[in-house]
Amino acid sequence: MPLSHINEANQPAMVDVSAKAVTRRTACAEASLLFPDGVLEQLRDTESGADKELHSRKGPVHQTAILAGIMAAKKTSELIPLCHLIPLENCSISIEQEGYNQLRLRCEARASHKTGVEMEALTGVSVAALTIYDMCKALSHGIEIQQIRLVSKTGGKKDIQ
């Protein structure tokens, strides 16, 4: 199967989607962050009673990562050279703690367009994970971003569930 972003002259090219129909497109991507022992406990906000929010010297970790991830998803075509500009109709980031020292991030993106939003979901979750790393690295550079992957997509030729 030939690569879709290579033209007849074997040069990089944007995929021509002009003949495709507009359909509702969705995508979900996720990432994991693994923290060294004790780091998440140092970030826990016990004073406000917001047991799910983490705080570093740079501010609220989850809220900042959510905003950064959404902003990145909206700018995917500016970051990935051959991506189409897609006006997102919805984008959400969720962050859940798993076990003692791991966070699971998910980015869901939706649009009605001629091409999918997989790259938007992957970019959103990646930047959210990078933001958490940046906000927490003062406590440890041993934080690991792991398992960035596409979980599902709908609306194109091949749905993935």
Looking at the annotation, which residues are catalytic?
A: 134
Are 137 and 68 contacting, i.e. CB atoms less than 8 angstroms apart?
no
Torsion angle of C-alpha atoms 106, 117, 126, 160, degrees rounded to 10: 60
φ/ψ (deg, to 5) at 59:
125, -165
Cα separation, 43 vs 61, in Å, equals 9
Q: Which of 82, 79, 78, 73 is nearest to 17 (CA)?
A: 82
CB hemisphere CA count around 23 (13 angstroms): 17
